[in-house]
Amino acid sequence: MAQDTAYMLTINLLCEGEEVKQMSRSFTDSLQMLSFKEGIVDSLQQEGYFYPEFEIDLEEGGEVQLSLELGDQTRWLALGKGNLEPWLLTKLNFPFHLAEGRPFRFKEWQKLMLDVLEIGQNNGYPFIAVKLDSIEQGENGISAIIDMDKGPFISFDTLKITGNSKTKPIYLAKKLGIIPGEPFSQKKVEDVTKALNNIPYISVVGNSELSFQNEQATVYLPVNDRKVNTLDGIIGLLPNEIEANKWLVTGQFDLQLYNVGGRGRDYLLNWQRLSQYSQNLKVEAKEPFVLGTNLDLSASFNLLKEDTTFLNRDFTLNIGYQISTTVYLSFFGKRQAGDLLAVSAYENASKLPEIADFRYNSYGATFAIHRVDDIIMPKQGWQATSTFGIGNKRILENTGIPPELYQEIEKTSLQYYFQTNAAFYYRWRQNLGLKLGVNAGDMDNSNLLLNDLFRLGGLQSIRGFNENYFYTNRYIYINVEPRFYFGTYSYFLLFTDLGSVENKVGTALQEWPISFGGGLNLETSGGIFKFVYAMGQAGSQPLGFNYSRIHFGFTGRF
């Protein structure tokens, strides 16, 4: 009958005959015990104890005594730089002058060699080789110098696209950092797939390939164009209930064009009018690598007309830089303007209304990181974006409001705002996934106005409420969304949105909205259809089927 413990091994580590450490371990057979003993000897040699002496005594009952005399630890007598060149030594930053007297440890020497190889491979020498040379072993130490063979200098050649993508190779080269004429970098080549996954208008259809010829490296990218351009719109003609014998034009129009001309240029146009007096317009354009630099330049214009209450406009100029394949940093300047429309209602007001005319110039930065498997429809990974802006806001006197109402306020004051959002995606099985979103924002000023607050609510934020339902200066909410996938981009979903919304301008200082529901995201040959049924409750909206919302839309792609 087999026994669980056949041998009990006691190990005594000795240094000049004196015990420095003792350990015990049990084994089911002698082969396991001998293998463990050899592993200990190898570990000691890697720590510089090259010639340990051992003695094994087998006692009754399977007791085994292993005595290991460590001997002297080998040390560096000298480690020379050899033919390492100054540019490499600067990047290596290894203290050669402190090597004398240090114990010889194999892992430290191996790390030094690997660092030399990595620096060389990322600076134009992919075939670099390195070894120890002129090795001399003394009585209690070892000396050597480093011998490096750089091999030929290799630079990047023109990038080749092997798929059907019409993207210009020079644009992709700049986006990936693989610029013709620059030194070869193994790290950039290894990061190609990760970088391509963060470009929304192309898809990777195979493995990238690399070839060397005439001291140049050519990268072959099997990428196809994705259908990410969108055109969607609806126009409605309704009898005008306010002006007789006239028609009211309502509707929505969305146009998003990406990678125009194969150069990464993006254009966006969105117009929406759901009633006679309310409409919004957004126009945006982006030009990458402007004037041959690594900087992106983008500009946007937004207009919001809220019934007969106020009119907001803002213009933003943005300069961005791709720090790495997954990290993007941009700086912006923004000019915002708000004007009061219904002036007659405040002619006899006794205090300044919540809505007023203002001008706000702000400057700030946006930091974005994307580490997901698919930038358009991620299923695994995480992404986050944070924006901070600060500037002076100036309140203008409106001639339709009594001038004495402006006397007690600070007309010019400092205002800041901060917004951040993060999304985490998990995929357990082929069909089961989860999206967890966290969003927060804060705005502060001594004279906050209703018409310059954040706007929340709707399909892209807190579902179960109308679009832009909440006015808020401080908010936080989370989205929990389990998904069941039945296609690449098709899935059923359940969701819960929980949040806290503060508005110190209005009468409802703080609300705690909650919503839940379910829906469908369906991929079709012409685009994506999304349907969500949601029920929401907040301080100003009770929970009930008559208050439920249906969010749906179809985004055509070409």
CA atoms within a 13 Å half-sphere pointing along the CA-CB vector of 80: 13
Q: Give the residue with greater pLDDT, 294 vs 481.
A: 481
Distance CA 301, CA 282 (A): 6
Contacts of residue 89, Cβ cutoff 8 Å, sequence gap at least 6: 81
Q: What is the DSSP string of 104-122?
A: --HHHHHHHHHHHHHHHHT
The CATH number given to 75-149 is 3.10.20.310
Distance CA 243, CA 455 (A): 30
Contacts of residue 30, Cβ cutoff 8 Å, sequence gap at least 6: 6, 7
pLDDT of residue 427 exceeding 60, the answer is yes
Running DSSP on this structure, what letter comes out for residue 41? H
- In the chain, what percentage of residues exceed pLDDT 70? 94
Considering the four listed CATH numbers 1.10.3470, 3.30.70, 3.40.630, 3.10.20, the one that applies to the domain covering 7-69 is: 3.10.20
Of the pLDDT bands very low, low, confident and very high (cuts 50, 70, 90), residue 453 is: very high
CB–CB of 293/280 below 8 Å? no
Report the pLDDT averaged over residues 498-513: 85
User: What does the pLDDT read at residue 2?
Assistant: 46
Distance CA 358, CA 35 (A): 79
Contacts of residue 516, Cβ cutoff 8 Å, sequence gap at least 6: 464, 494, 495, 496, 497, 534, 535
Instruction: Report domain extents, the chain.
Output: 7-69, 75-149, 155-225, 453-558
Sign of CA dihedral 253, 258, 262, 264: positive
Of the pLDDT bands very low, low, confident and very high (cuts 50, 70, 90), residue 1 is: very low
Q: Which token pair is 70? A: 């460590």
Name the residue type at position 366. T
Of the pLDDT bands very low, low, confident and very high (cuts 50, 70, 90), residue 507 is: low
* CA-wise closest residue to 521 among 464, 558, 481, 549: 481
Distance CA 43, CA 106 (A): 10
Name the residue type at position 549. R
Distance CA 278, CA 467 (A): 12
The region, left, alpha or beta by phi > 0 then psi within -120 to 50, assigned to residue 118 is alpha
Report the pLDDT averaged over residues 536-554: 80
Predicted TM-score (pTM) of this structure: 0.79
Q: What is the DSSP string of 403-455?
A: GGGGTTS-SEEEEEEEEEEEEEEEE-SSSEEEEEEEEEEEEE-TT--GGGSEE
pLDDT, mean over the chain: 86
φ, ψ at 488 (rounded to 5°): -60, -50
Of the pLDDT bands very low, low, confident and very high (cuts 50, 70, 90), residue 387 is: very high
Contacts of residue 439, Cβ cutoff 8 Å, sequence gap at least 6: 419, 420, 421, 422, 461, 475, 476, 477, 478, 479
User: What does the pLDDT read at residue 284?
Assistant: 96
Do the domains spanning 7-69 and 155-225 agree at the CATH topology level? yes
Report the pLDDT averaged over residues 41-67: 79
pLDDT of residue 442 exceeding 50, the answer is yes
pLDDT in tens, 101-129: 888 888 888 888 999 999 999 999 999 99
- Best-predicted range by mean pLDDT among 201-205, 293-297, 359-363? 359-363
User: What does the pLDDT read at residue 334?
Assistant: 96
pLDDT in tens, 223-238: 998 888 887 766 665 5
Report the pLDDT averaged over residues 46-52: 80
Distance CA 204, CA 228 (A): 15
User: What does the pLDDT read at residue 274?
Assistant: 67
Q: How far is CA 168 from CA 208, 211, 262, 264, 348, in A?
A: 17, 20, 5, 9, 63
Of the pLDDT bands very low, low, confident and very high (cuts 50, 70, 90), residue 344 is: confident
pLDDT in tens, 267-298: 999 888 766 778 889 999 999 999 888 899 99
Report the pLDDT averaged over residues 362-379: 91
The CATH number given to 155-225 is 3.10.20.310
End-to-end CA distance of the chain: 73
Name the residue type at position 13. L
Lowest mean pLDDT among 3-12, 159-168, 387-396: 3-12
User: What does the pLDDT read at residue 4?
Assistant: 57
- What is the helix, strand, coil percentage profile of the chain, to 5? 15, 50, 35
